[in-house]
Amino acid sequence: MTRVARAWSAVLRRAERRLPSLTRLRSPEALPIVLHRRRIYIVPTGFGLGFTVLLAVMVLGALNYSNNSALLLTCLVGAAAAGSMLVAFRTLDGIALTAIRAQTVVAGEDVPLTIDIAPGKRTRSSLQMDVAGRRLAFAVVSDVSVTLELALPTEQRGYMAMPRMRLFTTWPLGMFRAWSWLHPEHKVLVYPRAEAFGPPPRDPSLDADRGRPHPGDEPAALRMYRPGDPRRQIAWKLSARHEFLLVKDMEQPAPEAEWQLSWQSMHGMDNESRIARLARWVNEAHLAGYRWSLALPDRLFDVAQGDEHFHRCMTALALQP
């Protein structure tokens, strides 16, 4: 390595250390993200440049015609414009992105997000945020957090990284634009999209007793009357042939269906189609209140039901390689 290249890389290292946002642009960072002077950039807007040219013309005219009043007021307007740069900086300095909350959705839907912005001890006007092609404008009052709501489009299952967001302001005069890039290290889980139509799950154990009456259709058993049983449950016709009263036992829980969902049960399908079908079955089983088990190539979820089981299964499906 030549000396020049070494020196250059030293300069770059130093620049990255002094201006962390150069690197943070590329790598996401942990919450909370607090904006500070090394990551806030300011450039004049097009209007600012145009206004500067106009001011220059005014100064030149005032000097040429030795018109001191005009010179004084032009200087005043120019100084106010320059001061607005500091105001723009202060609007962003110290603001913090404290939390991001996302709901889970299936791929293809928009995921609703909330972003918490803490203003610190300063009231800030006219903040704007560019995120995923949308632009939000908001103001914050000192010490009161603001929650921004937005929706991000999703395309595929799995973890979706938060897009790079730009927090910027042109406050107060629109002549300077101060901005900072935010790239929070926050991932949004997107469930796989279930297939629209398909066969119900085929289970060998269910095949065996096909034709058995579906549970819940008929009284499951008869038993002897016990004092306290409601009268309408007494099977009068049957009791007539016996010496004692028989009661239709309705309270016995009907045997629930158990779906044994398995990655291996499907043949000749690619991974995504299997995931989509499994997702549909899991959805159906969850909605119908069935119990199900899920066997994936790398892990097995034993028979269970309920929200927690559902989310575990869907997460595993979402994260299938």
Partner 1 sequence: MNFLYALTHKVREAPISAGTFNLVCITMACVVAVHASHLPIWLTLLLGFALLASHWRRRHRPGKTPMWLKLPLTLGLLAGIVVWYGNLFGREPGSAFAVGLLVLKTFECETVRDVRVAVAFACFALMAALLSDQGLVVTVAVALAIVPALMSLRSLEPGQAQRTITQAALPALGLLAAAVPLALLAFLFVPRLSEPLWGAPAADTAKPGLSSSMSPGDLTELLTDDSAAMRVSFDGVAPGPDQRYFRAFVMWNFDGRRWDHGYGRRGEVAGLLPQGPVATYEITLEATHRRTLPALDVPMAAPEGARLSADRELSSNDRIDDVRRYRLSSALGYGLQADLDENTRRLGLQLPPNFDPRARALAQQWRLTFGQNDEGIARAALGLFHDGGFRYTLAPAPLGRDSIDDFLFNTHEGFCEHYASAFTFLMRAAGIPARVVTGYQGGFYNRLGQYLLVRQSNAHAWSEVWLAGRGWVRFDPTGAVRPERIAADGTSAGDGSGPWYQPAWLQAARNRWDIVNRLWAQGVTGFDALRQRSLLQPFGVREAPPSMLVTILASGICLLAAIGLGWALYRRPEGDVAQRALARLKARLERRGLASRASEAPGHYFSRAARFWPSQRKELESLGTLYNHLTYARSEPAPELARRFARMAREFRPPRVVK
- How buried is residue 221: exposed, middle or buried, by Cβ count under 10 Å (0-12/13-18/19+)? exposed
CB 169, min distance to partner 1, A: 8
CB 10, min distance to partner 1, A: 22
Contacts for 300-304: CB closer than 8 Å, 24+ residues apart: 303/258, 303/260
Other CB atoms within 10 Å distance of the CB of residue 312: 15
Counting residues that bind partner 1 (by CB under 8 A) gives: 68
Is 21 a binding residue for partner 1 by CB under 8 A? The answer is no
Which of 33, 58, 152, 261 touches partner 1 (CB under 8 A)?
A: 58
- Alpha-carbon dihedral sign for residues 297, 301, 302, 306: negative
CB 170, min distance to partner 1, A: 6
CB 34, min distance to partner 1, A: 10
- How buried is residue 3: exposed, middle or buried, by Cβ count under 10 Å (0-12/13-18/19+)? exposed
Which of 11, 49, 82, 269 touches partner 1 (CB under 8 A)?
A: 82
Is 72 a binding residue for partner 1 by CB under 8 A? The answer is yes
- Gap between the Cα atoms of 259 and 143, Å rounded: 53
- Gap between the Cα atoms of 6 and 12, Å rounded: 10
Phi and psi, residue 136, nearest 5°: -110, 140
**Segment near partner 1 (CB under 8 A); pick from 5-13, 104-112, 119-127, 264-272:** 119-127
Which of 3, 121, 210, 237 touches partner 1 (CB under 8 A)?
A: 121
Which of 104, 106, 138, 258 touches partner 1 (CB under 8 A)?
A: 138
**Segment near partner 1 (CB under 8 A); pick from 6-14, 73-81, 217-225, 250-258:** 73-81
CB 17, min distance to partner 1, A: 15
Can you read off the two tokens belonging to residue 195?
A: 């297939």
CB 101, min distance to partner 1, A: 14
Non-local CB neighbours of 220 within 8 Å, separated by 6+ positions: 249, 250, 252, 254
Amino acid at 5: A
Is 80 a binding residue for partner 1 by CB under 8 A? The answer is yes
Nearer CB in complex with partner 1: 167/190: 167
What would the x/- binding string for partner 1 be over residues 161 to 200, using CB under 8 A? Answer: --------xxxxxxx-------------------------
- Gap between the Cα atoms of 248 and 233, Å rounded: 6
CB 28, min distance to partner 1, A: 15
What is the Cβ-side half-sphere exposure of residue 305, based on CA atoms within 13 angstroms? 13
| Interactions with partner 1, residue window 87-106 (CB under 8 A) | 87, 89-90, 93-94
Can you read off the two tokens belonging to residue 203?
A: 């289970």
Cβ pair 182, 165 in contact under 8 A: yes
**Segment near partner 1 (CB under 8 A); pick from 4-12, 139-147, 221-229, 252-260:** 139-147
State the residues that interact with partner 1 by CB under 8 A: 30, 37, 47, 50-51, 54, 57-80, 82-84, 86-87, 89-90, 93-94, 120-122, 125-128, 133-141, 144, 146-150, 169-175
